[in-house]
Amino acid sequence: MGRIPNPIRLVVYWVGLALVRAGVIERGRARRTTELAWPRIVTGVARMSKNAVDVAMVGIAVGTAGIAGVGFASPYWGIAFALGGGVASGTIALVSQRYGADASSGIGQAVRSSVTIVLALTIPVAIVFWTFAETFIGLLSNDPATIALGAEYLQVVALGVPFAGLNLIGSRTLVGADDAWTPMVIRAGGAVLNIGTNAVLIFGLSLGVTGAAIGTVLANIVVTATFTTGLVVGYLPGIGELPVSVSPRSSYYDGPTVRQLVKIGSPMVGKNLAWRLGEFPLMAIVGMFGTTVVAAFVVAQRVRDLMNTPGWGFSLASSSLVGQQLGQGDEQTAEAYGYDVMQFGTAVYVVSSAIVLVFAEPIATVFVGSPTDPSLPVAVWLIYATCIGIVFRGLSRTATGPLRASGDTRWPFYGQVLGYTIAIPLAYVGAVTPLGLLGLGLALITEMFVPAVVNYYRFSAGKWKEISRSHRPSASPSSD
């Protein structure tokens, strides 16, 4: 499977090699999956590390109220990724199938139409967040200091919402064309820029949570500008020629293309929104436990996001590889890729979960800053629960990949809604009965377990292969 120059690639490689030797997955598919997955995992680690560092920096500079404020603002900021990621699911489905079928003439229209939809969705959201930031945070907390800090962060970071959505279109376009390296370089570079900018703004200029928000906005603008330049020119200095280019002068609205994007992307937008919107009542219930538990919960979420980074790689690798095979009409190989990536990705989740489980306490201490902080034991307990649930999140993410590639995107939405429908009452029971933190831990596990069952069932049923036939290049020819 080639020479390995990167530690994350090394881990993925050895897990894949072990599965190949055990006869679980096929060597050629493992190699292609590794090459597409590891750059996206690096991107995820960089970006989620940035989020974790944000929380740690704010905790050091501002204290527990700052951590809680950023935590309450984060679900709102996540709506940018819910909207952009949902539309980008349609982007990668259309791009990968056209790329696989060597029908590059329709790729540009798919990308431009995706940009139009994302801007139409995210600009109003940014305006609303800017205008009603304090009101939104006040819905989740009654602590004045937490509300003030959370609103301060949300109002500024709202300016980055459209750019965050556009970044996902650029990234998914290139991954769909078999190039995961370029998005890794661009988005990981943006994360590094974000961390450096935040350090200057938070500590050097004493801007606190505002500094963290400004750094996030600036980094997203830079990343958007880089993707735009690369896709328009078809080349980036230091990277070279890109596999696709997009003319900015052609139409940004094509009826058939927009309808396909909406048909594929709407359920994924719904699924992503269900995940993000489900965090609001959950965060409100966590607030009933008090600020200490809120801070610990935010820490556990940041650890969860870091542990979830393999899903960035394996889910998108599955979408790209399955989509390309579907574009060629080879449904049998597409299904084989789906099963192999699912087993490969879940195995990587098991390994990372075991490592975090062993080091849960020192990891939590990095965030809270002191071994005597009252939030530390709560954070450790919630990290333990996260380590159990995250394995199911791995299965859920990898099972979503083929469904997204085929255009069968309703069931991931159903699974996410059902997961929160069960998890939120569990958390509430914990808040109002002696069940306490056990209820909150069970809610964390359930929220990840239920979508895994739903997505795996839908993939194994095979209906997605039939659905994909209406989205293949021959079904909707479009010119650039």
Query: For residue range 225-255, what is the model confidence (pLDDT) as tens digits?
Result: 999 999 888 888 888 888 887 888 888 777 8
Can you read off the two tokens belonging to residue 473? 């290049």
* C-alpha–C-alpha distance, residues 231 and 252, integer Å: 15
- Global pTM? 0.71
- 396: pLDDT confidence band, cut at 50, 70 and 90? very high
Average pLDDT, the chain: 84
Residue 195 falls in which region: left (phi positive, over 0), alpha (psi -120 to 50) or beta: alpha
Query: 10: which residues sit within 8 A by CB, 6+ positions away?
Result: 4
| DSSP, residue by residue, 368-428 | H--TT-THHHHHHHHHHHHHHHHHHHHHHHHHHHHHHHHT--HHHHHHHHHHHHHHHHHHH
% of the chain surpassing 90 pLDDT: 24
pLDDT band at 478 (very low <50, low <70, confident <90, very high): very low
User: Burial of 432 by CB count in 10 Å (0-12 exposed, 13-18 middle, 19+ buried)?
Assistant: exposed
Residue ranges per structural domain of the chain: 7-470
Look at residue 51 and tell me whether its pLDDT is greater than 50: yes
**CB contact at 8 A, 303 and 291:** no
Flag whether pLDDT at 477 surpasses 70.
no
Mind listing the pLDDT tens digit for each residue in 408-422?
778 888 888 899 899
- Range with the poorest average pLDDT among 197-211, 291-305, 371-385, 460-474: 460-474
pLDDT at position 340: 92
323: its two tokens:
């989509």
Q: How confident is the model over 91-134, as pLDDT tens digits?
A: 877 887 777 766 666 787 888 888 999 899 899 999 999 999 99
Q: Whats the size of the chain, residue-wise?
A: 480
Taking 90 as the threshold, does the pLDDT of residue 195 lie above it? no
> In the prediction, which pLDDT does 474 show?
55
Which pLDDT belongs to residue 192? 84
Of 14-18, 72-76, 455-459, give the lowest mean pLDDT range.
72-76
Listed in sequence order, the residues at least 6 apart from 25 whose beta carbon sits closer than 8 Å to its beta carbon are 16, 19, 340, 343, 344
